[in-house]
Copies of this chain bind each other. A is one copy, B any other.
Amino acid sequence: MAKSKPNSKPTMHDVAAAAGVSQATVSLVLNSAGGSRFSDETRRKVKDAVAQLGYRTNAHAKFLRDGLAGMVGFIGDSVATSPFAGAIIEGAQERAWEDGLLLLTMNTGGDKDLEAASLDAMLSYNVAGVVYGSMYHRLLEVPKALAGVPSVVLNSQDRAGHLPSVAPDEVNGGYSATRHLLDAGHTRVGMINIELLESGLPAAVGRYEGYTAALAEAGLDVDPALVRFGRGGEDDGYKYAMELMTAPEQPTAIFCANDRTAWGAYQAVADLRLSIPDDVSIVGFDNQAIVAPHLRPGLTTFELPFIAMGRRAVDLILQGAEPDGRVELMECPLIERKSVTHPKEMP
């Protein structure tokens, strides 16, 4: 009745002994269609023994035996820890769990050695695949060892163009943001963005492209007097919003390429004793949880679809993710708050 080695966890043999059947019977009852070929009596005995001993299957034995994967690897520079993109891991995990898989995570802080070593460790667990996540959208070089296993670049793109990537649709985001202002009746829509060439950021480039596309569609030209490029901090937001709002021809709306610059813009507008949205409408980007909802008025902005992206990445992995270089762009939903209204009538 009692376990042979009382200190160690019970095995199937212990359960079998307790139930008075063979180990194979236990396995079949537990796995194979509920052991329909066995008598009710036997099934009951097995289940009782399992419950009584607190038996739990040994995953190592299981996955060794049938070569399947029980986990998905997640390697990130600092995603997990980042206040921006933490949710990315949530989506990945959710999706993995739907297939009964756990997430094996590692953030490397960009350390290539650590990256290689931990990737190695993950591969030795025979993971179903590896998600290579990044804190912000960029073009990155992936470790070579990823070649041997299904893997997906998340919130970034493989510069070499081999691995499939899942990233936010920046162009469409910039388009939608601008369009949102246009639709509210604005015709003088400014933009405070991040340097295009210098930064090379897909977010900056893409959102600007969307901005120009939306203006063009509305029959408007980009007015250089209404556009500023900086480094994306709230100090830039302050400075450029101040410039724009004190220029001879002020915009009636500003699209800030991220919530931080929007925050800076809020401060500038406040210092000018102007009102948002009555004097100027503002749209941000990123839906930064700690900032956007708490500004006054609440900032209308676009959300990076972290959860959806995480889900999709694992999705691709579970489908076998060939290195086909595809780039899946995910839509950034509008989060409407109070910083946008129609323009005042011009006097």
Contacts and interface: CB of A to CB of B under 8 A. Distances in A.
A58 B90 contact: no
Q: How many copies does the complex hold?
A: 2
Interface stretch (A169-177, A285-293, A331-339): A285-293
Contacts of A288: 290
A90 B81 contact: yes
A125 B59 contact: yes
A319 interface: no
A314 to B, nearest CB: 14
A103 B102 contact: no
Contacts of A82: 86
A224 interface: no
A56 B86 CA distance: 31
A57 B107 contact: no
Interface core residue of A60, A100, A107, A294 (most chain B CB under 10 Å): A60
A290 B121 contact: no
Contacts of A267: 296
Given A61-B64, A123-B56, A270-B270, A86 B97 contact: no
B83 A83 contact: yes
Interface string A78-115: 10111110110110010001001011111100000010
Contacts of A148: 54
B106 A122 contact: no
Contact of A294 (B83, B121, B234): B234
Interface string A178-191: 00000000000000
A57 B123 CA distance: 9
A78 to B, nearest CB: 8
Interface in A145-177: 148
A36 interface: no
Given A54-B148, A80-B86, A81-B86, A126 B294 contact: no
Nearest to A288: B290
Given A80-B89, A83-B83, 12 more contacts: A58-B124, A59-B60, A59-B121, A60-B61, A81-B86, A81-B90, A83-B84, A90-B107, A100-B121, A104-B104, A234-B294, A290-B291
A179 B123 CA distance: 51
A211 interface: no
A132 interface: no
A82 B89 CA distance: 11
A204 B61 CA distance: 48
Nearest to A83: B83
Interface in A235-276: 260, 263, 267, 270
Nearest to A9: B126
B105 A89 contact: yes
Interface in A198-249: 233-234
A284 to B, nearest CB: 13
Contacts of A121: 59, 100, 102
